[in-house]
Amino acid sequence: MSSTKSEKGSLLPSAQPAQPVPETSQRRKYVTFAVLVLCAFLQLGQYIHGFWFRRAPEQQHFPPASAEHSSLCPQVAPLVPEKSTDLYSGLAETFETKEFLFRAVDLLAGAVRIPTQSYDDLGPIGEDPRWEAFAPFHEYLLKSYPQVHATLNLTKVNTYGLVYHWKGTNSTLKPLLLTGHQDVVPVNPETYDEWVHPPFSGYFDGQYVWGRGSRDDKSGLIGVMTGIELLLERGFRPARSVVLAFGFDEEVSGKRGASALGEYLYETYGKDSFAMIVDEGGKITESYGGVFAVPSVGEKGYIDVRFELAAPGGHSSVPPAHTTIGMLARLIVEYENNQIEAVLSRNTPTYWHAECLAAYAPDLPDSIKDSMKYAGGSDEALRAAQEELFKDPTFKALVGTTTAVDIVSGGVKSNALPENVMAIANHRIATDSSVEEVKKHSTAILKTLATEFNLSYTAFGTSVTGDEPGYGMLTLSDAWGTALNPAPVSPVDGEDAAPFKLLSGTIKSTYKAHRALEEDVIPVIPSLVSGNTDTRYYWNLTSHIFRYSHYHAGSGTGLNGVHTINEACNATNLVEMMRFFTTLILNADESPAL
């Protein structure tokens, strides 16, 4: 329909020569026309909306995000002590000297030279002599930190667990708990020749301290102890108590170490008794053209699912259609092909992580930045961001529940049908999932094949196929009885986020001071660590648990050498870790919000 402008500038239907129309009929025509125009606009809007979000992510064009993204990932200002300014300034001068760098190197190197290896098959303490490796390490700490041992009260828990109590002057303040572990992953003797420097040499090449535990986690333990020694040397006395807890079997799940430490701390201090906990974990990393600090505010859950399959044996010359190994192979393939779908969900650490990348990562694709800007209120935008983000397999694995079949066994002779076979699948459970969800999913996946193979099927103590006996038996179970639900997520925003904000401000001021920068240049973004730490035993002590080591790991995973050959710690980064822990203690001591 053509149109002309009226004198008032509105668009109206153009005049058509016609006979006069009664007023009621004329009004009806105008109403009908208006309704038709409105319907046309609604249909056009629906078409555009559907076309927009059906397009491939790289073709989508959300309204461009503004240059200021802080609303996606709010940041706090760098935080430095206000009451202990002279002490803080004096420490800063110390950290910048070569003399202190060599002191830090010597302290870590000496710790590395004591091979405190923990093994999966360790027997009871007092019976297995391999535990005795920790006694020399305790002697080393006693010798290396005279002020700590003269001032703090030391309690040994389950023989080798260490708890240091630094009593503050104000008992109404919740203490700060700093934790780490004394043990290291064993070194395979067959790999000794592959090390640039021997694994327990503590060799310093002018840049790195080499050896097992130099990164995981003796650098953290030595960083904490050295920070407190420095504060004591300068006469500092805290208002807020500081507690240190060092386990001795973290690398084998902490069953004797942190488990006992958690019970002791709970009995001594009570439920929700600590202002915050900082353990090993997150780091400073480089990705998408930016540098970020990534403290972990949660941990994924964990379960190892054991598949056991039993069927009649016999001579291999008269085999069934499928041996137990053949059936197990089919079951494993079915299991791997039907994993729990990874979904990026709002209000999870990985979602917050994605928001912060969208806000501050220069080289993150624009399609992700634009999608994440609207993901909070648009499911289509969230799915578009997920599709792009999941192209990074590391990020996808961090978001979802992972499945890895790591152990398979069965068969004893090439001409005998195997009667019993077994496999174990490791699962790292998403923060918005649970052990129970993994069990239900695992059970459902294999039910059809169990019926096809005429197997009686029991999953996690419950019969799935009833009491009728089958040709064989399939059993699913928690392999070691160590299933663990995802950790509670520590608050990062709102009224209850003071500890995270204090941690963030400390990270920023440490990074800035260590590089003598004029501006705050490092965003702090919530994240997850890929494994589990000793903090699994400390959940009832506080709702504010952070896994963060303040080690500048550079690009990639930052795990080069950890749990494998050529583990090494950058000496400059070690000094920065010590600066971080002293600043954290001073900031926490002054904070009225914790």
Whether residue 517 contacts residue 459, with contact meaning beta carbons closer than 8 Å, is answered with no
Alpha helix ranges (H) inside 183-252: 218-233
Q: Is 514 annotated as a binding residue?
A: no
| φ/ψ of residue 313, rounded to 5 | -90, -160
Q: Can the peptide bond before residue 217 be classed as cis, meaning omega within 30 degrees of 0? A: yes
Is 251 labelled a binding residue? Answer: yes
Q: Are 427 and 400 in contact (CB under 8 A)?
A: no
Please, where are the H alpha helices in 55-189?
A: 85-95, 98-112, 134-144, 146-151
Token representation of residue 284: 């400073």
Residues 356, 523: contact at Cβ < 8 Å? yes
Pairing label, strands 296-299, 301-310: unpaired
Taking the CA atoms of the chain, what radius of gyration do you get in angstroms? 31
Counting Cβ atoms within 10 Å, is residue 15 exposed (0-12), middle (13-18) or buried (19+)? exposed
Compute the half-sphere exposure of residue 339: CA atoms within 13 Å on the CB side of its CA: 20
Element (H, E) at 167: none
DSSP code of residue 267: H
534 catalytic residue (yes or no): no
- Is 250 an annotated catalytic residue? yes
Task: Read off φ and ψ for residue 410, nearest 5 degrees.
Answer: 160, 150
Nearest to 537 by CA among 340, 188, 248, 306: 248
Residue among 183, 299, 308, 355 flagged as catalytic: 183
User: Is 181 annotated as contributing to ligand binding?
Assistant: yes
Residue 279 labeled ligand binder:
yes
Tell whether residue 315 is among the known ligand binding residues: no
The residue annotated as part of the active site, out of 217, 229, 249, 250, is 250
* Contact residues for 569 (Cβ-Cβ < 8 A; gap 6+): 108, 208, 209, 214, 215, 219, 551
Tell me the two tokens of residue 124: 């009871």
Place of tokens 């806000």: 359
Feature table: binding site: 181, 216, 251, 279, 563
Which residues belong to the active site? 183, 250
Feature table: binding site for Zn(2+): 181, 216, 251, 279, 563
